[in-house]
Chain A
Amino acid sequence: METLNVYATRLIEKKDYFTPGHRACQGCAEALAVRLVAKALGNNVIVGSATGCMEIISSPLPFTNWKVPWLHVAFENAAAVLSGAEAGYRALVRKGKRPEKGTVFLAMGGDGATTDIGFQALSGALERGHNFLYVCYDNEAYMNTGIQRSSSTPFGASTTTSPSGKFSPGQRTWKKNMAEIVVAHDVPYVATACASYPFDLMEKVQKAARTPGPAYVHILSVCPTGWRMPPNKAIWIGRLAVETGVFPLFEVVDGKYRMTHETAELKPVEEYLRPQGRFRHLTAEMIAHIQKRVAAEYDKLVAKTRL
């Protein structure tokens, strides 16, 4: 284990605002990410959730796993719904109808709800400059409906709507770089995170929440079920995603890039791809292609930190 401060765990907030008894799969690192975000933000928060894995596993009527106010309306509008709550709050506080308590407004959605069907609503909310935090839990496919591809599915991954086959390499396109798209909206804080680096994730979420205006955190959420791998390796594979440069951890504060996890030398992507069943069909050629592109993207990112 590398830089994990072994005893730091004992110092963090012990309360959980996302309760056990939720119906996520065994080893769901997305549920872990939700847990960490909830822990980082505390209970002075209002959550607007999109439809998806995290919504379904935590809100079966008449029960709920949420100990903070939580609102779900539909699949593609978490950012819009939460914009409304935030605007309503601002109006009520200004008109003296509600006390100002510094409540944090959190919108959450999966990669489907963020990079695809909810793209418009997110873009609108970012452009309008609402004071909110959007967290994308990216498990790289529409997992809740049965592992169908999204624009966040990485190149070569086999999903049920981009299956590998005689005439198909799996996903044909490169993963949409959502963090960069959000940076292009000129918002004060953008970051990537992964539950395998829990303190980094929680720090970023807290920083994002403290930032006035729109903030965005994109969390790589390992899905053992959809990625076809044993659940106990969920944290381990997330670490490899970062250490191979496939999912670099960085933040962009007022347009200034900073790597938040540096490795002297990136591990070969094959180490990350091989243990996952969704990449089982990859040829050496495809892996080489992925390696080349990952390295190039990583270099581009590092170059931005030097601007």
Chain B
Amino acid sequence: MAKPIKSETDLNWKDLEVGCVVSDAGSASQYKTGDWRSMRPVVDKSKCIRCGVCYIFCPDMAIGKTAEDYFEADLYYCKGCGICAQECFTGCISMVPEEE
């Protein structure tokens, strides 16, 4: 599909691929799940040992490595579930309300 689409209603019937197959692998990653959350994870870098436990337990693949080798939540996707804060080995992640 040439034109960028934000939702299924952008497509006419002729735009659909044969059998409604989707060739654009991983295209759903454009969907912003970040606006679901009401709490966000905040890392105290002084206590972070960069173990990656938060990374491995994130169900949304929303934690990635920064340039300095720390792990940080991608706020475009982070749903604020708090698993990272709960599982953090040193307890350096805290969940704070989104408004702050």
Contacts and interface: CB of A to CB of B under 8 A. Distances in A.
A146 interface: no
B55 A9 contact: yes
B25 A10 contact: no
Interface residues of B, number: 44
Contacts of A31: 59-60
Given A19-B26, A61-B22, A64-B28, A35 B59 contact: yes
Contact of A19 (B29, B58, B81): B29
Interface string A201-232: 00000000000000000000000100000111
A196 to B, nearest CB: 8
A62 B27 contact: yes
Interface string A2-43: 001011011010001011111110111101100100000000
Contacts of A35: 59, 61
A189 B67 CA distance: 41
Nearest to B63: A20
A233 B95 CA distance: 13
A167 interface: no
Contact of B53 (A9, A64, A231, A234): A9
A26 B80 contact: yes
Interface of B: 1, 5, 8, 11, 16, 20, 22, 24-33, 36-37, 49-53, 55-62, 74, 77, 79-83, 85-87, 89, 95
16 contacts: A6-B49, A6-B53, A9-B51, A9-B56, A18-B61, A20-B33, A21-B31, A21-B33, A22-B60, A32-B57, A35-B59, A67-B25, A232-B82, A232-B85, A232-B86, A234-B59
